[in-house]
Amino acid sequence: MVKIKRIASQVRAAYEDIAGKDNDLCGYCCRASAQLLLAAQRHGIHGVQIVLGSGHVFNVYDKHIIDVTATQFGVADKVYITPYDPDGDVLSNGWWKTRGGPYNSLDEFEEISGWRVNPGKDISTVLKYDTIENAFLTTQDRI
């Protein structure tokens, strides 16, 4: 879990650079979750999935929610990790209630959920880099 948390922290930092450090990242959940899935795969972490909640997108790995944009719901942790129960509701507001997924790939997520990950932008460019640190030294158009 340490490695995925480190990668998730890098994804979070990349979106804070785009949106501003004081931004709660509302509206970035789909793209950030997609980046986390791709970055984890690139760094040999398999089993990270993307989940559609109630108007929110997050990741699941090893029976845990990993959410890099949970701050938009008042969560203090920039990388929110908590046990995942696909039939439960982690918080009473319902954002983490599973409505679709978990999906193992972005193609599967888009095809079944109907959500699109940043149409017109090539987020796969993250896979061309050797280190997670270099992966997010890109322009906004690449994320």
Structure confidence by residue, pLDDT tens digits, 62-112: 999 999 999 999 999 999 998 887 776 554 456 677 777 888 888 888 888
pTM attached to this predicted model: 0.77
Residue 110 CB-density burial (10 A; 0-12 exposed, 13-18 middle, 19+ buried): middle
List of residues 6+ apart from 105 with CB closer than 8 A: 37
The mean pLDDT of the chain is: 77
pLDDT given at position 8: 94
Mean pLDDT of 11-32: 87
Question: What is the spatial distance between Cα 97 and Cα 54, in angstroms, rounded to a whole number?
Answer: 6
Question: What is the spatial distance between Cα 17 and Cα 61, in angstroms, rounded to a whole number?
Answer: 25
pLDDT given at position 113: 77
pLDDT given at position 139: 34
| Domain regions of the chain by residue span | 2-138
Say which DSSP state 50 is in: E
Higher pLDDT, residue 126 or 61: 61
